[in-house]
Copies of this chain bind each other. A is one copy, B any other.
Amino acid sequence: MKQYIEANRDRFFDELFSLLRIPSVSSLESHRPDMQRCAVRLAELLKEAGADTADVYPTQGHPVVFGQKTIDPSFGTVLVYGHYDVQPVDPVELWHSDPFEPEIRDGAIYARGANDDKGQLFMHVKAFEYLVRTGGLRHNVKFIFEGEEEIGSPSLAAWAEEHKDLLKADIILVSDTTMISEQVPSINCGMRGLAYLEIKVTGPDKDLHSGHYGGAVANPANVLCDIISSLIDKDGHITVSGFYDDVVELSDEDRAKLGRAPFDLEEYKKFLNIKEVKGEKGYTTLERTGIRPCLDVNGIWSGYTGEGAKTVLPSEAHAKISMRLVPNQDSEKIAGLFEKHIYDIAPDYVKVEVTRHHGGNGFLIPISSHAYQAASRAMGEVYGIEPVPSRGGGSIPILADLQKILGIDPLLMGFGLERDTIHSPNESYLLSQLFKGMESIALFYKYY
């Protein structure tokens, strides 16, 4: 489809940018109207690309976009999943260009969502368009794009249950992940799950003068630090009681297979600008992000955080904490264990409350599957080298749910790169990856 891309390049940019310009931040209530606008625009693009139908479906949360083209009921059916919502943009002052005014610099598109996931789902729409217009389409194709992936897809599972028949397919095809590097394509055959919670520690019922009370009254910020510090031991093990009960230890053989993925620790450290990596004792960096669970503070705040100094003993301290889970760990169960553990260790001189944000389970797809093999062959042709099977550290909890509800496996052909810094300022997506992605997807349909 190289020539097709060349011929339509400018139109492709116009269409993708029209999506990127809509600030569809799902976690912020104020952006609700943008979610609707973005969904409507996506449906338009699907129809223009050749879908028979493409509609915006309301949910309890943000709308779902569903479109499809049926060629012959007897043909195989591919269900493409993607999400049009994006992460917040703060700290916005660190962006070199407006997050919602896409800009092409040094061969990459810079914008919130350029990769995650507007840029990646767009590849599927265009590969589909190409196959339709060149008469090369040999599958029925369905598209489901949600607007709540970044907040844990609270509505899609229920919607999928209701529309099971509509979603009938043979494979769920997804581009919402990264590959190891431009030179080393990889296909994601497993993802970690997620349990995301928030802790609130309350001491005195008002902020106090730290001079008058300091030393005699428990400081909720200090207490919160004690609690968080106690959650990971010196070997990098999570101390939450029962946390590892369902974790499956991989066989040496499987570890060796995953170990095939080329990895340059020095490059990795250089990219992150860190002196040393840190993680669970006894595991490599790739294993720590691929096959092992972890716990991270995603946000913490208390007291005076402004300019200068304020001698205050704060009344409250807050932290957002998430745990990445491996397949077979249940998100709900872990959230429960976390809550219980925090309440068990909470000292009686403060009040501690734990609330749940979103979560989801991890999953695995067999390397031997027809879909995996087709993807491997397609990407191999485009990149000139056989892709490496990898394990993704991130979570797409909804995929585990769809897998359960629809009884079909998800296949993760991700074309993002580390350099894209998704979820961070200056998110970007390389044009070369955008176009190679389209080619790989078009070839996938050929070999699947």
Smallest distance from the beta carbon of A408 to chain B beta carbons, Å?
A: 23
Which residue on B lies nearest to A271, using beta carbons?
A: B204
A310-326 residues with Cβ-Cβ distance < 8 A to B are 310-314, 317-320, 322, 324
Give complex CA distance A374, B1 in Å.
Answer: 96
Whether B348 pairs with A275 at a CB distance below 8 angstroms is yes
Instruction: Decide if B88 touches A304 in the complex (CB within 8 Å).
Output: yes
| Contact segment of A122-130, A133-141, A284-292 | A284-292
Q: Which residue of B lies closest to A424 (CB)?
A: B207
- A423 contacts partner chain B, Cβ-Cβ < 8 Å: yes
Is the beta-carbon distance between B393 and A322 smaller than 8 angstroms? Answer: no
Query: Which residues of chain B come closer than 8 Å to A295, judged between CB atoms?
Result: 214, 222
Q: Which residues of B contact A304 (CB under 8 A)?
A: 88, 90, 298-299, 320
From residue A372, how far is it (CB to closest CB) to chain B in Å?
21
Question: Of B211, B292, B300, B317, which contacts A393 at CB under 8 A?
Answer: B211
> Looking at the complex, which one of B309, B318, B357, B393 makes contact with A215 (CB distance below 8 Å)?
B393
Interface residue? A259 (CB, 8 A): no
- The answer to whether A437 has its CB under 8 Å from any CB of chain B is no
- Nearest to A28 among chain B residues (CB) is B307
A204 to B, closest residue via Cβ: B272
**From residue 190 to 223 of chain A, which have CB atoms closer than 8 A to chain B?**
192, 194, 196, 198, 203-219, 221-222
Copies in the complex: 2
Closest to A228 in B: B225
Per the bound structure, the CA–CA distance linking A418 and B211 in Å amounts to 12
Give residues 253-284 of A contacting B (CB, 8 Å).
Answer: 272-280
Check if A312 sits within 8 Å of B207, measured CB to CB: no
Q: How far is the CB of A221 from chain B (nearest CB, A)?
A: 4
A18 at the interface (CB under 8 A from B): no
Contact among B28, B194, B272 with A208 in the assembled complex (CB-CB below 8 Å): B272
Cβ B280 vs Cβ A215 within 8 A: yes
Q: A299 to nearest B CB, angstroms? A: 4
**Which residue in chain B gives the minimum CB-CB distance to A306?**
B88
Subset of 6 A-B contacts with CB under 8 Å: A28-B307, A215-B292, A216-B286, A225-B300, A278-B347, A297-B302
Enumerate chain A interface residues (CB-CB to B < 8 A). 27-29, 87-88, 90-91, 150-152, 178, 192, 194, 196, 198, 203-219, 221-222, 224-226, 228-230, 232, 272-280, 285-286, 288-289, 292-314, 317-320, 322, 324, 347-351, 357-358, 392-395, 418, 421-425
Task: For the A-B complex with A212-B393, A311-B322 known, give 17 more contacts whose Cβ atoms are closer than 8 Å.
Answer: A27-B309, A150-B310, A151-B308, A206-B272, A208-B421, A210-B322, A212-B392, A214-B322, A214-B324, A218-B274, A218-B277, A222-B228, A222-B295, A298-B304, A299-B302, A301-B301, A311-B395
